[in-house]
Structure 1
Amino acid sequence: MELDVRQIQEILPHRFPFLLVDRIVALEENRVVGIKNVTVNEWFFQGHFPGRPVMPGVLILESMAQVGATMMMNMEEFRNCIPYFTTLENVRFRRPVVPGDQLVMELTLLKLKRRMGKLSGVARVGDQVVAEAEIGFSLVEAKEE
């Protein structure tokens, strides 16, 4: 299954300037692949770093988490939840991500118990790994107000 940005927004609560996934190109029961097109117009490049723009590592991790959250929140039982980080383990940054790069993130569900779980993820630009991590998460039911 593939999702465009409008369909992603129907699943994720994130919005501009913090929606960091542009397309889901594969969505399976325990695996998801998503894309973030990194352009020079990104808000974070204004200060990170002027004259030498580099995507902050924490935002690469956030992009990976949003791709994983799309898979989890697409499941019927989690549709009314908000995703939260609980842990980040074995995080590695292999090379900078710069304007013009297309970040392709693949996440696999390692475990899920009730509303808590762990994903294993890798982010690539072309055939080069730029980041990898294990992401712990909690899906908290959104309270209606």
Structure 2
Amino acid sequence: MTKEEIIISLPYSKPFLFVDEIIHIDENGVEGSYIFDEHLDFYKGHFKDHPVTPGVILTEAMAQIGVVCLGIYLLNNEFTKNSVIALTSSQIEFLKPVYPKEKVIVISEKMYFRFGKLKCQVKMLNEAEETVCQGTIAGIIKT
């Protein structure tokens, strides 16, 4: 699968698609990016005078790029629109805020992939290449 085909295969759509680009992907990991649109609804109420991206959204972006995109790649042509994806665990440490219009880079390294379960070490960097959050995320993909 190409990088573009992987993004098209994701079971998400705007406003809940947090993948703009896959920069690099291979059997050991993935790197991708996303720019947080300032008009996303959660910014209206998450610190109303000083909007910040919620941690759960940062975790979701890390999961979409770092686990789901990689899982689709690893499954190659076995992934279909009938495949089921589920988050099984996440342990994320938040270090810096992410603001509206900010571009982030997600870098994921595969820890293991067996029996449909993928576990990755994932980190998110801001445009200054500072780590804004990091941790482990695991999920299952059933085809």
CA distance in 2, matches of 1:46, 1:8: 31
Shift of 1:78: 4.4
Partners in 2 of 1:123 and 1:2 — Cα distance? 23
Distance 1:109 1:43, change over 3 A: same
Unaligned runs of 5+ in 1: none
The TM-score with structure 1 as length reference comes to 0.86
The residue number in structure 1 matching 2:17 is: 19
How many corresponding residue pairs? 138
Q: Which residue of 2 aligns with 1:83?
A: 85
* Secondary structure in structure 1 of the residue aligned to 2:63: helix
> In the alignment, what sits opposite 1:120?
121
SS at match of 2:70: helix
Whether 1:3 and 2:29 are equivalent positions in the alignment is no
CA distance in 2, matches of 1:56, 1:26: 26
Structure 2 stretches lacking a partner, 5+ long: none
User: Are the equivalent residues in 1 in contact too, given 2:7–2:69 (CA < 8 A)?
Assistant: no
The aligned counterpart of 1:37 is: 35
- Structure 1 residues 37, 65: CA separation in 2 closer, same or farther (over 3 Å shift)? same
Identity of aligned residues (%): 25
Q: Deviations over 1:100-136 (max 9, x none)?
A: 3111000111011110121110000022100001011
Displacement of 1:39: 2.6
